[in-house]
Amino acid sequence: MSTKKAILYTNYHGEAALPVAETKGSAPRRSHAQSKMTKHEIPQKSPQQARGGRAEAIYRGIFEAVVEHRLPPGAKLAEEQLGAIYGASRTIVRSALQALAHDHIVTIARHRGAFVSAPTIADAQDVFFSRKLLESAIAREAAQRIKPADVTRLRRILAQESEALRRGDRQKAISLSGGFHIAIAAICGEGALTQFLRSLISRSSLVIALYGRGPASECGHDEHVALVSALAAGDGERAAAAMGEHLDHIVADLTLAEREAEPVDLAAILRA
C-alpha cells in the first residue's frame, strides 16, 4: 500500500484541512503530514478554498445529507453506487469515505463497508460529559492566557456564525460553532488538549446533526458572545461556569431517541 498524494479537505467543523492519504488498500491511513497541517488554521478557510475535486464533492454531499437528515444513521454507503452517482473511481470514493470516517460521520466496518455513523444516546451523553469536563478547564485556563489578537479572532468567528444563522446555513453554523470551541482551546496552545478536543467536537457535531431539533439546536450564539466577554475580561471562573452551562444547554436541547436504520435510495438522496 503506498501513499500516492494527499487530498485536502476542509472538514465539517470548518477548521483543519486534514490531508487524507489516498491509498490503494481499504484500511484508513493517516498522512504523516496531518499533524503538521492542523496548526493555526482555525476557521478562516472556507470549504470553497479547500482543494476541490470529486472526493471533496462526495465528502460534502454525504455530510450535507446527514446534517439535513436526508441520510439516516446506519444507512449503507456502497462504494460502487457512490462511484456511479458521482462518476468517480473506487479510489476517490474510498478516500472520501475515509475522510468522513476520520471525522466520525461514517463508520467503516471490516468486510461490510461504510455506513453513516449511528451514535447511540449513551455515546451522545458520553461525548458531552467529556466536553464539559475538558472545556470548563480550558475556558478557565484560556482566560488567563488570552491576548487581544485571540479576542479579535473569536469575535470574527462569532460574526461569521451570526451570518450563517441569519442565512439558515445549518452546516456552516455547526462548523463555525465547532471552530469557535477549538479556537478557545488553541489559546492554550496547539497541543494534545486541542487535538483531543477536535476529536470530541467531530463526534458532537454528528450528535447535534442527528439529534438536534433544528436550526436552534446548535451552540447558542448569545452564549458564545457571553463566553468571549468572560474570556476577554480575564475572568477564569466566569468563563468556566459559562462554558459548563453552555454545554449543558446543548445537551438539554437534543432530542435523544434511538433511531432505526431504514433502507435508503442513495441516488435519489445524493442527487437531490
How many other CB atoms are found less than 10 A from the CB of residue 113?
A: 16
DSSP per-residue letters across 136-176: HHHHHHHHHH--HHHHHHHHHHHHHHHHHHHHT-HHHHHHH
Smallest gap, in angstroms, from Cβ of residue 25 to Zn ion? Answer: 38
Residues that bind Zn ion (CB under 5 A): 177, 219
CB within 8 Å of 214: residues ≥ 6 apart: none
Q: Which is nearer to Zn ion, 103 or 218 (CB)?
A: 218
Q: Which is nearer to Zn ion, 38 or 205 (CB)?
A: 205
Q: Which is nearer to Zn ion, 65 or 184 (CB)?
A: 184
Smallest gap, in angstroms, from Cβ of residue 181 to Zn ion? Answer: 6
Smallest gap, in angstroms, from Cβ of residue 79 to Zn ion? Answer: 35
All three cell numbers of 100, joined, read 468522513
Smallest gap, in angstroms, from Cβ of residue 219 to Zn ion? Answer: 3
Smallest gap, in angstroms, from Cβ of residue 218 to Zn ion? Answer: 8
Q: At 219, is the secondary structure helix, strand, or coil? A: coil
Q: Which is nearer to Zn ion, 56 or 135 (CB)?
A: 135
Smallest gap, in angstroms, from Cβ of residue 146 to Zn ion? Answer: 17
Question: Strands, E, within the chain: which ranges?
Answer: 6-10, 17-21, 76-77, 106-109, 113-116
Q: Which is nearer to Zn ion, 219 or 251 (CB)?
A: 219
Nearest Cα to Cα of residue 61 among 99, 110, 6, 7: 99
Strand partners, 165: none
Q: Which is nearer to Zn ion, 126 or 223 (CB)?
A: 223
Smallest gap, in angstroms, from Cβ of residue 49 to Zn ion? Answer: 24
Q: How far apart are CA 193 and CA 210, in angstroms?
A: 26
φ, ψ for residue 116, nearest 5 deg: -65, 130
Q: Which is nearer to Zn ion, 13 or 94 (CB)?
A: 13
- Burial group, residue 257, by CB count within 10 angstroms (0-12, 13-18, 19+): exposed
